[in-house]
């Protein structure tokens, strides 16, 4: 059958369901350059406005997976399982979670990305470690999984090239917000990894892409349905991102906090989410009789972390970068800290140098914000609330001013909000 880009665009523009053959053709033709950027831009806008059925979204995802290679992980002796987070402020969970789940008996191929804007990237964090390298070949990924059980690295060039091309196009054409396109982008890369199981951490709140729990559930349901349609054992946790996760926001700062967690300490919220995601991953992987909380507390996960970092050329004992300039924001009054806006804190860390505005930008690995007090804690006038770290002192006055909107102090106690708000499985949410 002969297709044309114009016919596919018109079909979706008019609200019609695209056939499997139309989807397969247009994704393949765009990857090969037969469909022009302006034509795919028009189709993406039509999808944004008209939506896709779950069946269309699953097929679109499968077509993007088919545009490139997949990792062959079937020969590993351990069950394979991965985690994906939709991103947030201070979200360093991948760092302790990957070695923890590996220490419990699974193989965890965590293919990660870099940060853009106020949310940090896992690879940027790990590149704070001297010598560590993000780029591995498919054979090296399999070797690390076989020898260590865990790997965190960049996706290989051959995985889902259609997604890489379409993602860049959506970023400049106002079509990022489409749930079907978001879901297929995330899932095409995860399915191409070749894992058997996947757990999703879909965040909502001021510091997340999805601002409300309902929006997060919609995305989570789409992601879970795609995974189930492609044979994955899959579920999603809806988690709160109205407050920064942990106390550290910034690359080297988050590595240091992650190591603290792996040594049996760390902020309670980071520990809680790490353990709960680990339990869900182990459930899907069919591993029972092991408590990830115990494995985290007794140092076994830290041992795997050291082996994982060393296997990628890093020195787990090396000193992390330190900022040349440190500034402190203190409490203007005594009372209870009732709010700490994740988005405002994330933007502050970005302005200090921890993030990038464009993909080509470099990051300052030492820059960031330490949240010395969190909501629910009592503070006294003059007590340090936030510590700003940067090698760009000229940014400090504007950052200090912006952070005035980040926190609230009240005489009343604050009601605690649960970190994990919901759980979504194929076809339903559990709470």
Active site residues: 84, 163, 170, 185, 189
Beta strands 108-112; 150-154: pairing state: parallel
Q: Which one, of 182, 242, 212, 235, lies nearest residue 51 by Cα?
A: 182
Beta strands 335-340; 108-112: pairing state: unpaired
E strands, 129-226, in order: 150-154, 197-204
77 phi/psi in degrees, rounded to 5: -80, -15
Distance CA 419, CA 240 (A): 5
E strands, 80-162, in order: 81-85, 108-112, 150-154
Buried b / exposed e over 389-406, threshold 16 CB at 10 Å, is: bbbeeebbeebeeebeeb
Distance CA 136, CA 161 (A): 17
Q: Note the helical H segments in 230-320.
A: 251-262, 268-285, 292-297, 300-311
């Amino acid at each position: 059958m002969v297709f044309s880009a114009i016919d596919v665009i018109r079909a979706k523009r008019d609200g019609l369901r695209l056939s499997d053959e139309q989807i397969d053709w247009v994704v393949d033709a765009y990857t090969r350059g037969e469909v022009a950027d302006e034509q795919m831009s028009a189709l993406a806008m039509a999808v944004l406005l008209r939506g896709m059925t779950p069946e269309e979204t699953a097929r679109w995802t499968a077509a993007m997976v088919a545009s490139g290679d997949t990792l062959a992980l079937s020969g590993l002796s351990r069950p394979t399982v991965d985690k994906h987070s939709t991103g947030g402020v201070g979200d360093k969970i991948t760092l302790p979670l990957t070695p923890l789940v590996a220490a419990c008996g699974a193989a965890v191929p965590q293919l990660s990305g870099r940060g853009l804007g106020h949310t940090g990237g896992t690879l940027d964090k790990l590149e704070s470690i001297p010598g560590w390298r993000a780029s591995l070949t498919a054979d090296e990924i399999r070797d690390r999984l076989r020898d260590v059980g865990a790997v965190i690295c960049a996706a290989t060039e051959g995985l889902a090239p259609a997604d890489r091309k379409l993602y860049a196009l959506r970023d400049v054409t106002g079509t990022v917000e489409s749930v079907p396109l978001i879901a297929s982008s995330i899932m095409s890369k995860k399915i191409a990894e070749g894992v058997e199981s996947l757990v999703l951490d879909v965040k909502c709140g001021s510091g997340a892409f999805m601002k409300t729990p309902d929006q997060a559930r919609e995305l989570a349901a789409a992601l879970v349905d795609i995974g189930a349609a492609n044979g994955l054992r899959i579920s999603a946790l809806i988690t709160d991102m109205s407050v920064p996760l942990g106390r550290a926001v910034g690359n080297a700062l988050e590595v240091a906090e992650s190591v603290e967690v792996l040594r049996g300490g760390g902020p309670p919220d980071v520990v809680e989410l790490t353990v709960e995601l680990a339990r869900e991953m182990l459930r899907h992987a069919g591993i029972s009789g092991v408590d990830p909380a115990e494995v985290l507390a007794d140092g076994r996960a830290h041992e795997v972390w050291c082996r994982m970092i060393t296997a990628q050329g890093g020195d787990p004992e090396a000193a992390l970068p330190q900022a040349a300039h440190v500034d402190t924001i203190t409490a203007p009054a005594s009372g209870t800290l009732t709010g700490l806006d994740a988005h405002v804190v994330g933007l502050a860390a970005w302005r200090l140098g921890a993030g990038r505005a464009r993909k080509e930008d470099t990051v300052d690995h030492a820059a960031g914000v330490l949240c010395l007090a969190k909501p629910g804690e009592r503070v006294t006038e003059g007590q340090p609330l936030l510590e700003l770290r940067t090698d760009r002192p000229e940014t400090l006055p504007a950052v200090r001013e912006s952070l005035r909107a980040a926190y609230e102090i009240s005489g009343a106690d604050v009601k605690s909000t649960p970190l994990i708000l919901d759980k979504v499985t194929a076809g339903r949410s559990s709470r």
